[in-house]
Amino acid sequence: MIRIHHVVRIPVVSKALLVVLILTSFLLTSCSSGATMDENETELRHIALVAPIHAEEQGDAIRLGAEAAAKENGLVLDYIPLEPSDDEAEQLQAALKVLEKGSSAILIDPASEAVLQKLGDQASAADVPVIALNDERMTTGVLSAIAINNEVAGRKAGEQLADLLEGRGVIAILRSDREDPDLMAREVGAKSVLSEMSGIQIADGAACGKREDACWQAAKQLLDRESVDGILALDIQASLGAAKEVARRKVQGKIKIVTFGSDLEQLQLLQDGILHKLVVQNGFSTGYLGVEQAVKVLDGSKYDKPIVLETKVIDADNMFWMDNQKVLFPFVK
């Protein structure tokens, strides 16, 4: 067999050069692939949380949850506090100020639909996502929402109150003097249950605002005016006012009170037998999930439905069940 070798002669110098070049590129690529990005290079993203009006403990819980999530996701949470006397106008103002100052995303528990709409319009123009908390409405600019179904919560409350009264009695609803859609939904839910029960009459309720003891006064007038067996208090203020009046009249336990929230004061009153049932939503989860949603939205996820959280019914018997303890009492080391 004959082999023919074609010998291509390259001068040695260029051969060596070629080798060195190849190796250098090899080295360079190996180095560049291993280069690590300094994590501190990028500035931390800011996410703003606008406090709810009448924040109380629910607001604190939301804030705690949001802060926990921000810490976990490596964000800075700018909490925009409100004065206790602030109302929806001030909340909107604070939110627009944050938008002007600049933030990656804005979380807000809006005082009203108007606040959410105005903020949403402005934010979508500025290309800043808004995450609504405790609000199912996903209007323009609102890219995600964490909410409870307030109507279902109201129905639960109505059922509980009817149970406490064993299906017979007069019920008054203590509502807020604010045009709060959440509270209205609760009332609608409760009424839809109660109106079906023949033994239950719904008396004229009362409304109260956020002024100190306003709700107590309202409850007092209500109880002066009507003889009621049960009170459905639609928010924390109302429940505290009702509890105060019931305790003052020493009729605690006789007048059944069902309400919403999980303030420590409410829990104390629940344990003392002045309040009877709490329909509890988890504020911490709301804040936590709100920030998580904000992160996902910023990463390009799209949501067209709100995340609906479950509510729980708590009473004096089950409030210290381990599962409930964990949700009701903030863990402080």
Among 20, 44, 89, 125, binds other proteins (CB under 8 A): 20
* 26 belongs to the binding site for other proteins (CB under 8 A): yes
φ, ψ at 179 (rounded to 5°):
-85, 65
Among 188, 273, 301, 318, binds other proteins (CB under 8 A): 273
Residue 238 Cβ vs other proteins, minimum distance, rounded to whole Å: 21
* 294 belongs to the binding site for other proteins (CB under 8 A): no
* 290 belongs to the binding site for other proteins (CB under 8 A): no
Query: Looking only at residues 49 through 68 of this chain, which bind other proteins when binding is defined by CB under 8 A?
Result: 64-65, 68
Those residues with Cβ within 8 angstroms of residue 39's Cβ, 6 or more apart along the chain or in another chain? none
* 264 belongs to the binding site for other proteins (CB under 8 A): yes
* 307 belongs to the binding site for other proteins (CB under 8 A): no
* 15 belongs to the binding site for other proteins (CB under 8 A): yes
Do 246 and 278 meet the contact criterion of CB atoms below 8 Å apart? Answer: no
20 vs 89, which CB is nearer to other proteins?
20
Residue 73 Cβ vs other proteins, minimum distance, rounded to whole Å: 13
* 282 belongs to the binding site for other proteins (CB under 8 A): yes
* 44 belongs to the binding site for other proteins (CB under 8 A): no
Residue 276 Cβ vs other proteins, minimum distance, rounded to whole Å: 13
For residue 269, give both structure tokens: 């009153």
* 318 belongs to the binding site for other proteins (CB under 8 A): no
Do 139 and 116 meet the contact criterion of CB atoms below 8 Å apart? Answer: yes
Among 2, 4, 8, 31, binds other proteins (CB under 8 A): 31
* 221 belongs to the binding site for other proteins (CB under 8 A): no
Residue 198 Cβ vs other proteins, minimum distance, rounded to whole Å: 34
For residue 197, give both structure tokens: 């029960």
Apex 172 CA angle, 270 and 248, nearest 5 = 50
Q: Which stretch binds other proteins (CB under 8 A): 51-59, 122-130, 176-184, 325-333?
A: 325-333
CA distances from 306 to 139, 233, 290, 296 (A): 11, 26, 11, 14
Q: Which stretch binds other proteins (CB under 8 A): 28-36, 47-55, 190-198, 250-258?
A: 28-36
* 37 belongs to the binding site for other proteins (CB under 8 A): no
Residue 304 Cβ vs other proteins, minimum distance, rounded to whole Å: 23
Among 97, 168, 248, 326, binds other proteins (CB under 8 A): 326
Among 4, 12, 38, 302, binds other proteins (CB under 8 A): 12
Residue 31 Cβ vs other proteins, minimum distance, rounded to whole Å: 7
For residue 34, give both structure tokens: 């291993």
* 331 belongs to the binding site for other proteins (CB under 8 A): yes
| Contact positions vs other proteins (CB under 8 A) | 12, 15-16, 19-20, 23, 26-27, 30-31, 34, 36, 64-65, 68, 72, 264, 267-268, 271-273, 282, 284-285, 288-289, 316, 320, 322, 325-333
